Chains A and B, each alone.
Chain A
Amino acid sequence: MTIDTGAGARPAGAAPSAGAARALDLLDGPVTDTTLRRYLEGIPGVDAVGLEQRAASLGTRSIKTTSKAMALDRIIELVDLTTLEGADTPGKVRSLVAKAITPDPSDPSCPRVAAVCVYGDLVPVAVEALGSLHAPKARAAGNGEGIAVAAVATAFPSGRASREVKLADVADAVRNGADEIDMVIDRGAFLAGRYGQVFEEIVAVKEACRRPDGNDAHLKVILEVGELVTYDNVRRASWLSVLAGADFIKTSTGKVTSNATLPVTLLMLEVVRDWHRMTGEKVGVKPAGGIRTSKDAIKYLVTVAETAGEEWLQPHLFRFGASSLLNDVLLQRQKLHSGHYSGADYVTID
């Protein structure tokens, strides 16, 4: 079977989708389960011990003084401040947005986060709360990058719904003003070896991210590494997602026991680095879930800079999916500026 590369969803004459183009180029032929399998399973394996050792070694970098100050600000700028609870309310989202805009009310020099990340139905609340600081408006007004709204979609977090429902979920969020879509791959299909199905779905979601004005929502593809389990699977899923047109590959939903780890993020960074070596294209990486301390987050910055390169330390190429991380960074920041340790009462609860 030849996979639908999205051509059917496009108006006649439009350029092939990015995903289709990437895959067609690399596979040098039609995208089928067979060609995908041949390609993905032909990628050299990962030695888990070596990977984990490399990550541990990057984790021993000692980031102090001016480098630490720089790192802390950069972490804030790279955060997708996230709330993904069944109990989320408009009030909670507005509070989150306020925190995103002003992470530290006591320090006007504190940067803003990159985005807020919410469920699709709460996108309008987030857009409204951001007002002129919502990324598209801010950019249009020449008022910096603003703050983006990211929506999880495609029957997040399990991904267990029909294609139709998933695409509707995406279209709905995009229509409501989401700038970024965090989709989940179909892990069931991936683990069953139906790579074509996973590919096709990513391509379809990417199509659904298109807006008539060409100002497409960016697509982050969540691999849910905690369910793929092995590094070989993560590497294949990373390549598959990149081939299918992902703008970002993201580790996890934050909803299973095992989320982002440094080794798994390193592995994904190696994939985007290799993709860049091969094509010159840059794809982003987003570790999410479980990164709670500045110390940990700094290890990720080091890993990004020493693997993909420092140019990846920008919001369009690297994000932290996090919630409690921000306050720890703010505490560390206050310590660095004041010289003494701060306390939980000196940062705000969103």
Chain B
Amino acid sequence: MSFLDYAPAPESRSVVHLRPSYGLFIDGAFVDGHGTPFPTISPATEEHLAEVATADEHDVDLAVAAARKAYDRVWSRMSGADRGKYLFRIARLVQERARELAVAESLNNGKPIKESRDLDIPLVAAWFFYYAGWADKLDYAGLGANPKALGVAGQIIPWNFPLLMLAWKIAPALAAGNTVVLKPAETTPLTALLFAEILQQADLPPGVVNIVTGAGATGQSLVRHPGVDKIAFTGSTAVGREIARATAGTGKRLTLELGGKAANIVFDDAPFDQAIEGVVNGIFFNQGHVCCAGSRLLVQENVHDDVVDRLKQRLSTLRLGDPLDKNTDIGAINSAEQLERIRELTAVGEQEGATPWSPACEIPENGFWFAPTIFTGVQSSSRIAREEVFGPVLSILTFRTPQEAIAKANNTPYGLSAGIWSDKGSRILAVADGLKAGVVWSNTFNRFDPASPFGGYKESGYGREGGKQGLSAYLAPSGGVS
């Protein structure tokens, strides 16, 4: 027996008590939806977890009406201090139920429990805690004295960080004094529904947060609803584009957090062992289902072979499998559809002449899985170097000079994030200056914090989430909504 064949160390599912079916959360209560309910599954096993309601146009209408009523009668009249107290309560309740939420997240999303436990859920609590404190300090948000909430915010979130994206959206919206109708992703509704229970425990006034589950059509209804003052969306650039079109001329405020094709730039003087970790974390964290994933490794040509070698050695220690096993590094792909997209793009990568490599790893029989893969010999013109794969697939390209690194890094319609690895401070800062990316990680990657603004340039969207900037996205100067 090999020591490295770590015995199974599964996190217990007993902390999660799922109901057989979930309704919509409207006006403080779970209600039936008028659309056809849909099953939600574990992508790791395809096990049926629960039946979830679909909100049709009528349901969305009810949710927006509830949000409007709560805004007019309760939330907009409440003191900032009291709004903050509700958010603090929520932060604490999330901490108290952290394990349950982590297990539910891994079940429904397929992400490793170590990530949901150590990253997603702690950050959810941190996000509410951070914005709670803002609620009675809006004068300092950068919009002058007495800024105003926008009204009802429609929020649509993706499946890659289901509860964390919910927190990114709801916490600043409520702190600023808005009420919310939130639509979770179709494949990952469960933690949002558990969160609705938390809102009940927090005694949040009915209608302040409404959660409508469903597929794309539900989101469309929300985007097009005339009673919505603000749309915040995180997801694909294609859908973001549609939303930008749909809201054009409506006066709805819009923030978009879309796709990316981040370059992780490794110079020949990088702290190599940490750079390798950063590259691995950059693309294989959350199965690469990360909009800011470092999906393009730009490595200085003179160290290319060595870096690839080290990378391969490191990848061989990654453990793919049961998301609930505490030793799992790579969990399941979130859906059959996403798996298909990853397969398609990697097939294209091969056709284009790039060379794929994956460590030996056993792929479970059921569920959706894709082995971590790196492509060498990728050219800037390859589709896998240009399109967002949103999976555990790394494209490796080379550069010769810092100028060339910057040019290649920026040579994409996206501009969400980038990484720089070097021991030379002045070069790091100059390269950071040159990168068209909203977040630049130097000698680290994929770090998130509620105090740190996050969001992209160009087709990666507009607006920032996190920090003061994330708050002001839900506010207008006292003169009115501009």
Contact = CB atoms under 8 A, between A and B. Distances in A.
Given A44-B270, A50-B444, A310-B2, A67 B326 contact: no
Contacts of A62: 6, 9, 326-327
Contact of A50 (B118, B317, B443): B443
A47 B3 contact: no
B326 A50 contact: no
B278 A50 contact: yes
A61 B274 contact: no
A79 to B, nearest CB: 16
Across the A-B interface, the 10 shortest Cβ-Cβ residue pairs: A50-B274, A62-B9, A62-B326, A67-B7, A47-B271, A47-B274, A45-B423, A65-B7, A64-B9, A66-B7
A50 B277 contact: yes
A18 B5 CA distance: 35
A21 interface: no
A63 B443 contact: no
B7 to A, nearest CB: 4
B422 to A, nearest CB: 9
A267 B271 CA distance: 12
B195 to A, nearest CB: 25
A192 interface: no
Interface in A3-57: 44-47, 49-51, 53-54
20 contacts: A44-B423, A46-B273, A49-B444, A50-B277, A51-B273, A51-B274, A54-B273, A54-B277, A60-B114, A60-B118, A61-B6, A61-B327, A65-B7, A66-B1, A67-B3, A67-B7, A71-B3, A277-B309, A301-B3, A310-B2
Interface of A: 44-47, 49-51, 53-54, 60-68, 70-71, 74, 267, 270, 277, 301, 305-306, 310, 313
A54 B4 contact: no
Interface residues of B, number: 27
A63 B9 contact: yes
Given A50-B271, A63-B9, A74-B3, 6 more contacts: A45-B271, A46-B274, A50-B275, A50-B444, A65-B8, A70-B1
Q: Which of B1, B7, B444 has the most CB of A within 10 A?
A: B7
A49 B441 CA distance: 13
Nearest to A60: B114
A306 B3 CA distance: 10
Interface of B: 1-9, 114, 118, 269-275, 277-278, 309, 317, 326-327, 423, 443-444
Given A46-B274, A53-B277, A54-B277, A64 B3 contact: no
A72 B172 CA distance: 49
B133 to A, nearest CB: 26
Nearest to B267: A44
B274 A54 contact: yes
B3 A305 contact: yes
Contacts of B114: 60
A54 to B, nearest CB: 5
B31 to A, nearest CB: 41
Nearest to A51: B274
B329 to A, nearest CB: 9
Contacts of B444: 47, 49-50
Nearest to A273: B313
Nearest to A50: B274
Contacts of A67: 3, 5-7
A71 B3 CA distance: 7
Given A49-B443, A50-B443, A63-B9, A306 B4 contact: yes
B9 to A, nearest CB: 4
A310 to B, nearest CB: 5
A46 B118 contact: no
A310 B9 contact: no
